[in-house]
Amino acid sequence: MMKAFENFEVWFVTGAQLLYGGDAVKQVDGHSKEMVDGLNNSGLLPIKVIYAGTANSSNEVADVMSRANNDKKCIGVITWMHTFSPAKMWIKGMQILRKPLLHLHTQYNRQIPWETMDMDFMNLNQSAHGDREFGHILSRLRKNHKTVVGHWKDEKTQKHIAVWERVCAGWADAQDCLILRFGDQMNNVAVTDGDKVAFEQVLGYHVDYCPFSEVLSYFDKVKDAEVDELVKVYFRDYAHDGRLEDRNTEEYKKVWNSAKAELTLRAILKAYGAKGFTTNFDDLGDVNVEETGHGFDQIPGLASQRLMSEGIGFGAEGDWKSAALYRTTWFMSQGLAGGTSFLEDYTLNFDGENTSILEAHMLEINPDIAEERPRLEVHFLGIGYRKSPTARLVFTSKQGHGITATIVDMGNRFRLIANDVNLIKSKPLPKLPVASALWVPEPSFEVGVGCWLNAGGTHHSCFSFGLTDEYWRDFAEIADIEALIINKETNYEQFRKELKFNEVYYMLNKALH
């Protein structure tokens, strides 16, 4: 887990002032270092905390925030007021700061030393005073931030900080995230489209189009020997029927073609430095590929499955927002149990209290969520203009609690929607040989789906077993976008009112700015 985020760090800045003398500031400094060491040694924080010093004046605050902005390893700043730190001296620094901010309301000592507490102790330990002053100025400045309240040694407090650190890492990764579109969106689909300029301006992801002719130039450079070696990896890692290994069969050829498609995608993604991609089954290259051998004989489903497992963002039918958000979902989830995947609402199973949604896709589901060892199979795929057999990993998902999320373009803003879901045991699908999951949205099928529909949620979403709604609330806070969370506490009518209230807020906010 630490290795995944080893190039990142979070800065810890303590607030004080010189009113109480230099000796007091030295004590503040010592306490702060001890607290930072304690956080790092807790084993709960995925990203190292660096003590960046105590700020005692407006110039010192502005200086440390400027340095945080310019330090590539720094992905966020934690602030804590040990003593009373008059917040007017934090105005310039907070206006300068562009990195995510966490306000930690804590105290060095856990309990009041009733028998020994004197005025010197009172002067030094004023977090109850200083943090309120700091909280006021953040509110006055309308500064987006997360507030964590609790003693710094408590596991609960540390876990809230750990969530925020992972979100900061996901945010930092998004600011340097290129998504390549191999083909356009599926024609006439509204929810997968949107404003790519605003998407980059607000969320950081850069989305480019890459013509399939360029993909084919990489396809032509793939060596047969490389393909042969990757096919061996497939047979080693996945359950399969022995006949697939017979080089004289059509099934082997389809597995081999899938391997060549994977190597092609890996090569072009590496060349561009891209962290995600989209495909569209209407754009695969040479329409006479079976005769010419020039191009993909089907959508690269197996490649998409395996690349998702390694953190490459993916969106089907040109869904670039899902490709970007999946990358962030995976990036934040590193080291957490359960796995992640791009998923699509496929079909409904009305069964009373167990009414559920079958989540699947044509081919592209991440094997990390598989209940058992994925099985490599070759089957006919009857979709798009090119209908032909292709290889894929077939499995049903693990059971358990998770969360799925999406981002939609509402025209005047981006909206993040997240829904807690419970994955349940799925029955076999002998005539639909694809990967799948079966889930019941919280708080119930009717309320969960009703809220998702009213919010304008997509049919594609990005699922994680390890994340919670706290991650997505923090992400939306950093991005300064609307967040709608659907969980066991959600009331349908109150949710509809929230949608209307939010609409008024964003209309007024736009008018004021």
Render pLDDT for 355-396 as a digit per residue (tens, 0 to 9).
999 999 888 999 999 999 999 999 998 776 567 889 999 999
Per-residue pLDDT at 473 exceeds 90: yes
Of 435, 410, 438, 446, the closest CA to residue 422 belongs to 438
CA neighbours closer than 13 Å in the CB half-sphere of residue 110: 4
Full DSSP string of 159-191: HHHHHHHHHHHHHHHHTT-EEEESS-PPTT-ST
Render pLDDT for 303-359 as a digit per residue (tens, 0 to 9).
999 999 999 999 999 999 999 999 999 999 999 999 999 999 999 999 998 999 999
**Least confident range of 181-185, 253-257, 402-406:** 181-185
Residue 29's Cβ-count burial label (10 Å; 0-12, 13-18, 19+) is: middle
> In the chain, what are the domain boundaries?
3-174, 178-512
CB within 8 Å of 242: residues ≥ 6 apart:
none
In 3-state terms, the chain is what percent helix, strand and coil (to 5)? Answer: 45, 25, 35
pLDDT > 90: percent of the chain: 82
Please give the single-letter amino acid code of residue 325. L
Q: What is the mean pLDDT of residues 48-61?
A: 97
Cα gap 296→286, rounded to integer Å? 8
> 204 by DSSP, 3-state: which?
coil
Question: What is residue 509's predicted lDDT score, i.e. its pLDDT?
Answer: 81
Average pLDDT taken over every residue of the chain: 94
Q: What is the mean pLDDT of residues 457-471?
A: 97
Question: What is residue 292's predicted lDDT score, i.e. its pLDDT?
Answer: 61
Q: Looking up tokens 């090569």, which residue turns up?
A: 267
Render pLDDT for 66-115 as a digit per residue (tens, 0 to 9).
999 999 999 999 999 998 889 999 999 999 999 999 999 999 999 999 99
Cα gap 414→482, rounded to integer Å? 7
Question: What is residue 186's predicted lDDT score, i.e. its pLDDT?
Answer: 79
CA distances in angstroms from 308 to 88, 278, 298, 342, listed in the order given: 47, 12, 18, 8
Per-residue pLDDT at 493 exceeds 90: yes
Cα gap 279→197, rounded to integer Å? 20
Higher-confidence position of 369 and 216: 369
Q: Looking up tokens 């290259």, which residue turns up?
A: 285
pLDDT tier at 25 (50, 70, 90 boundaries)?
confident
Overall fold of domain 3-174: Rossmann fold (3.40.50)
pTM of the full structure: 0.95
Give 10's strand partners.
49, 76
Per-residue pLDDT at 294 exceeds 90: no
Task: Judge contact between 340 and 329, C-beta under 8 A.
Answer: yes
pLDDT tier at 187 (50, 70, 90 boundaries)?
confident
ω into 443 cis (within 30 of 0): yes
Neighbours of 48 (CB within 10 A): 16
Question: What is residue 425's predicted lDDT score, i.e. its pLDDT?
Answer: 95
Please give the single-letter amino acid code of residue 52. A
Cα gap 171→100, rounded to integer Å? 9
Cα gap 164→44, rounded to integer Å? 12
